[in-house]
Structure 1
Amino acid sequence: MRLTVNLRDDLYAVARSMARAESISISEAVNRLLQRALAEPRAAPRRSKNGLPVVRGRAPFGPDDVLRIESET
């Protein structure tokens, strides 16, 4: 399948380096890198003590935060 994508410079450099090292096209290098990434096992989501999944990326909030948000609505 033919597709046009925009790669960040650092990702393009990785694909180009792999292509040169393995004497393959950049397109084939991108295909192999994607296949490799998709084949890696995914880590199970972390769970808290109560069994709920833990979502990373935000600061924790508590009852005071809930009350503050409720008062804003």
Structure 2
Amino acid sequence: MRGRADALKQDRERVLFAAWAGAMFTRQEKLKSFSHYAKDMLPREPQTNAGKLAALRNVQAAGVPMTIKRIA
């Protein structure tokens, strides 16, 4: 049941973000190019390997049963 509850929470967050983004765009007088808005939504710089490993370890520490292997 926890997986379903997490999926419902993700769906709710996705709907709330869509509503927020829609409200933000309706308040704009003239829309700018997509790249202007994308810079706020997308990561600023690519994630490093150390950052990816740290993110995976955080997921693992949260209780997700997973094995992390380095693939060369």
- Sort the TM-score into its range (normalised by shorter chain): 0.3 to 0.5
Choose between structure 1 and 2 for higher RCO, CA contacts under 8 A separated by at least 6 residues: 1
Return the index of the structure with the highest Cα Rg.
1
Give the TM-score of the pair, scaled to structure 2.
0.35
